[in-house]
């Protein structure tokens, strides 16, 4: 009923190995960069630096190589900064809002230019058929309410209704 002594050390060694693996320090990117830069400064030897930080020299050289490769790629323009999803979402929303503002301003400017160039909005003005169609298209394409678009053009609603009725 005795257990074999060979099994005990194997299981205890496995337990110790598992504990060491689970309690092993995980270095984040800032810590890795700090350690690599300390090594590049050359104030201490790499062996001393690794002992002080509790890492193997091979791990230091691996981080150093990755650091140098990333720097080369960045300087060559091969990679761009990775933005997180929150930043991307926020930037897309902001870009969409700005596009809407630009579209509104562009439409308003176009309407005002047409009003000024063609003299639209004068009292008892008669519009040629082509201009009536253009007024209808402008009102239909505008994201603004029809009344607001017509007010910008200086055209009364009554006259616009006549244009629309004649077009249909």
Q: How many CB atoms sit inside 10 A of residue 85's CB?
A: 7
Q: Distance of CA 89 to CAs 93, 96, 98, Å?
A: 6, 11, 14
Burial class (CB within 10 angstroms; exposed 0-12, middle 13-18, buried 19+) of 125: middle
The confidence score (pLDDT) of residue 168 equals 45
Q: Where are the domains of the chain?
A: 9-76, 103-167
Residue 166: pLDDT above 60? no
- pLDDT tens digit sequence for 118-159: 666 555 566 666 777 777 777 777 777 877 777 777 777 665
- pLDDT tens digit sequence for 15-42: 888 887 777 788 888 899 999 999 999 8
- pLDDT tens digit sequence for 99-122: 988 988 887 788 777 776 766 655
Whether pTM exceeds 0.85: no
Average pLDDT over residues 72-92: 75
Residue 11: pLDDT band (50, 70, 90) is: confident
Compute the distance between CA of residue 134 and CA of residue 114 in angstroms, rounded to an integer: 10
């Amino acid at each position: 009923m005795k257990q074999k002594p060979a099994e005990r050390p194997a299981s205890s060694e496995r337990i110790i190995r598992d504990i060491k693996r689970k309690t092993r320090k995980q270095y984040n990117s800032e810590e890795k960069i700090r350690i690599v830069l300390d090594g590049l400064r050359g104030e201490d030897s790499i062996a001393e630096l690794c002992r002080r930080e509790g890492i193997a020299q091979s791990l230091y050289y691996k981080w150093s190589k990755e650091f140098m490769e990333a720097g080369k790629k960045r300087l060559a323009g091969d990679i761009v900064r990775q933005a997180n999803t929150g930043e991307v979402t926020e930037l897309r929303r902001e870009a969409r809002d700005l596009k809407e503002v630009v579209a509104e301003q562009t439409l308003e400017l176009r309407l005002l230019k047409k009003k000024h160039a063609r003299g639209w909005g004068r009292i008892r003005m008669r519009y040629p058929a082509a201009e009536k169609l253009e007024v209808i298209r402008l009102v239909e394409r505008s994201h603004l309410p029809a009344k607001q678009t017509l007010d910008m053009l200086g055209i009364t609603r009554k006259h616009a209704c006549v244009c629309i009725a004649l077009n249909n």
